[in-house]
């Protein structure tokens, strides 16, 4: 299972041990974890990037989220970027485990979310393994199936046009259409 891990790069100064523990537990669960963008970065290294490099990184980040099965986010240290990544994952119907250290406040919009794909939990070092194990079990039971089919060039052109207008992957647009039809 592919897991995208995120947390505040600035907050890494305070929560580095927690980030590493979460990543280690995910590896113990047999997960492939994308975390280098957090663990190998610093605020100063990000500030040094040129605009083109930031745009290329953003495109890579979007691919990582699109390719993952779920997202685990440490929100103990507030970060707009982490919130943005969570929003991208939810837009693609990816389950998201939102973790915050006991004693820190969970983001209100996530703590009170009625979205089935958002699980918001306070953690201690002792509770992390169980929380992550439960989330991985939950995700395995909710991972979407891949479905491939042939379309005409006319449909492909239309999908491409709509995806550009709506700034979303074609698969997300099709899934949204089907979900509206089901409702």
How do the pLDDT tens digits run along the chain, 183 residues long? 999 999 999 999 999 999 999 999 999 999 999 998 899 888 778 778 899 998 998 899 999 999 999 999 999 999 999 999 999 999 999 999 999 999 999 888 888 888 889 999 999 999 999 999 999 999 988 766 667 788 999 999 999 999 889 888 888 888 889 888 888
pLDDT at 182: 85
pTM over 0.75: yes
Question: Residue 144: what pLDDT?
Answer: 61
Burial class of residue 53, CB neighbours in 10 A (0-12, 13-18, 19+): exposed
If one counts every other C-beta atom within 10 angstroms of the C-beta of residue 143, the result is 14
Q: Which of 69, 8, 84 is nearest to 33 (CA)?
A: 69
Task: Give the sign of the dihedral formed by CA 17, CA 99, CA 129, CA 93.
Answer: negative
Q: Give the tokens for residue 94.
A: 């990816």
State pLDDT tens for residues 156-170.
Answer: 999 999 988 988 888
Q: What angle do CA 54, 58, 61 make, to 5 degrees?
A: 135
What is the architecture, at CATH level 2, of domain 2-142? 3-Layer(aba) Sandwich (3.40)
Q: What is the pLDDT of residues 76-89, one digit of tens each?
A: 999 999 999 999 99
Paired tokens of 157? 């052109």
Supply the DSSP symbol for 112. Answer: T
Q: Provide CB contacts within 8 A for 33, sequence distance 6+.
A: 3, 4, 5, 23, 26, 27
**What's the CA dihedral at 26, 7, 14, 111 to 10 degrees?**
-90
Q: Minimal CA–CA distance to 155: which of 131, 173, 129?
A: 173
Domain coordinates in residue numbering, the chain: 2-142, 153-182
């Amino acid at each position: 299972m592919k897991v995208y891990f995120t947390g505040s790069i600035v907050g890494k100064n305070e929560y580095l041990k927690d980030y590493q523990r979460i990543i280690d537990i995910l590896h113990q669960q047999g997960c492939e974890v994308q975390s280098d963008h957090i663990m190998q970065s610093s605020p100063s290294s990000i500030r040094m990037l040129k605009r083109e490099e930031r745009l290329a990184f953003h495109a890579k980040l979007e691919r990582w989220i699109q390719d993952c099965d779920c997202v685990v986010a440490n929100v103990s240290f507030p970060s707009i970027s982490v919130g943005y990544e969570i929003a991208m994952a939810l837009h693609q119907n990816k389950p998201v485990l939102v973790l915050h250290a006991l004693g820190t406040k969970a983001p209100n919009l996530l703590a009170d979310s009625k979205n089935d794909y958002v699980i918001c939990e306070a953690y201690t070092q002792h509770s992390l393994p169980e929380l992550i194990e439960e989330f991985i079990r939950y995700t395995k039971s909710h991972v979407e199936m891949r479905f491939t089919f042939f379309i005409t060039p006319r449909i492909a052109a239309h999908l491409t046009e709509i995806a550009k207008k709506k700034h979303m992957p074609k698969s997300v647009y099709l899934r949204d259409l089907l979900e509206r039809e089901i409702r």
